[in-house]
């Protein structure tokens, strides 16, 4: 069973999910895309679900102020630790707020609001998705830019039953204390009516004393179709300008397996 109380996708309840996060997502291709958007906006930027600062820190290093909101104390504390190694000029650009992206009021607005790397897909139900988008609109300057990135579940992937068997997903890595960690992945269940997929990220750990451990991160994710997101954005007051399939500005292609759906909208 997934823990229905942890609606953040496991980041509040499961320490190992937070601990391994930066090791498994160290080479994603989206950072320059967000730095470019942030530079064009001039900042400050608001990021929803800012996690360990994978995107916040590079934006702050580029000299742009960024506020991140997240509900996970563990992810926030990893970010705070990482900031200790950064110069004052970078640290001063970063503001971290513990808040729920499903509805928040910071009392200010931004020229750029971003929801990177599938965070929005943890919002399984429409009322949560809509209230999140409405909060984004409330925090956007008039004419400001809103960016939402989700995984594109292509039709071929949606019907691919081979994904139910564990498959390799990210390279093996070592933790500073000598643990060797290997991660696999599988789909467990697909609810085509609710558009929710239950997935498992499975960590195989070999401890320095030779003991082995298997830890399972089971979580639900909502998948979206292009026009659904465009309509949802419109309901919240956002006008979608462009949809991309990758971070190199490839126009959206619904059949693109492993591609993304990156919504660029304006208030
Ligand atoms: C996949 S991580 C993305 C982190 C970061 N944006 C990145 O790109 O690396 C998702 C983050 O969203 C946070 N999150 C999920 N649901 C949330 C909610 N309802 N309110 C606040 N944060 C949430 C999690 O705690 C986690 O840090």
- Segment 84-117, tens digit of pLDDT: 999 999 999 999 999 999 999 999 999 999 999 9
Six-digit token string for 256? 């693109």
Q: Could you say which DSSP state residue 104 is in? A: -
- Segment 155-169, tens digit of pLDDT: 999 999 999 999 988
Report the 10 Å Cβ neighbour count for 98: 10
| 7 within 8 A of 14, measured Cβ to Cβ | no
Please work out whether the CB of residue 74 comes within 6 Å of at least one atom of ligand 1.
no
Could you give the 3-state DSSP secondary structure of residue 160? Answer: coil
- Segment 227-266, tens digit of pLDDT: 999 999 999 999 999 999 999 999 999 999 989 999 999 9
CATH class of 155-221: mainly beta
Please work out whether the CB of residue 10 comes within 6 Å of at least one atom of ligand 1.
no
Instruction: Identify the pLDDT of residue 160.
Output: 93
**Positive or negative torsion for Cα 94, 98, 103, 104:** negative
Q: Are strands 45-48 and 196-206 parallel, antiparallel or unpaired?
A: unpaired
| 145 within 8 A of 262, measured Cβ to Cβ | no
Crossing angle between the packed helical segments 73-83 and 15-24, to the nearest 10 degrees = 40
Separation CA 69–CA 44 (nearest Å)? 14
Please work out whether the CB of residue 95 comes within 6 Å of at least one atom of ligand 1.
no
Separation CA 20–CA 173 (nearest Å)? 9
Same fold, 15-152+224-266 and 155-221: no
* Residue 8 banded pLDDT, cuts 50, 70, 90: confident
Q: Are strands 140-151 and 167-174 parallel, antiparallel or unpaired?
A: unpaired
Distance between Cα 120 and ligand 1 center (Å)? 8
Provide the CATH topology of domain 15-152+224-266. Answer: Rossmann fold (3.40.50)
Please work out whether the CB of residue 220 comes within 6 Å of at least one atom of ligand 1.
no
| 3 within 8 A of 12, measured Cβ to Cβ | no
Residue 1 has pLDDT above 60, yes or no: no
Residue ranges covered by each domain of the chain: 15-152+224-266, 155-221
């Amino acid at each position: 069973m997934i823990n229905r109380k942890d609606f953040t996708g496991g980041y509040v309840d499961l320490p190992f999910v937070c601990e391994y996060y930066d090791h498994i997502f160290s080479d994603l291709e989206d950072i320059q895309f967000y730095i470019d958007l942030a530079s064009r906006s001039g900042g400050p930027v608001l990021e929803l679900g800012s996690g360990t600062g994978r995107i916040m820190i590079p934006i702050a290093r580029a000299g742009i102020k960024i506020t991140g909101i997240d509900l996970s104390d563990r992810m926030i504390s990893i970010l705070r630790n990482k900031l200790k190694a950064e110069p004052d000029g970078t640290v001063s650009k970063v503001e971290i707020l513990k808040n729920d992206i499903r509805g928040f009021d910071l009392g200010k607005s931004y020229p750029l609001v971003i929801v990177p790397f599938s965070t929005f897909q943890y919002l399984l139900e429409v009322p949560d998705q809509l209230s999140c988008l409405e909060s984004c609109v409330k925090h956007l300057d008039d004419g400001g830019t809103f960016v939402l990135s989700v995984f594109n579940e292509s039709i071929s992937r949606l019907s691919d039953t081979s994904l139910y068997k564990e498959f390799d997903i990210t390279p093996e890595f070592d933790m500073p204390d000598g643990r060797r960690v290997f991660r696999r992945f599988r789909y467990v269940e697909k609810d085509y009516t609710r558009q929710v997929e239950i997935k498992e990220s499975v960590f195989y750990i070999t401890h320095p004393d030779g003991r082995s451990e298997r830890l399972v991160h089971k979580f639900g994710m909502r998948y979206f179709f292009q026009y659904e997101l465009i309509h949802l954005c419109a309901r919240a007051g956002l006008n979608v300008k462009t949809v991309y399939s990758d971070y190199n500005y490839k126009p959206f292609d619904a059949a693109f397996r492993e591609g993304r759906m990156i919504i660029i909208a304006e208030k």
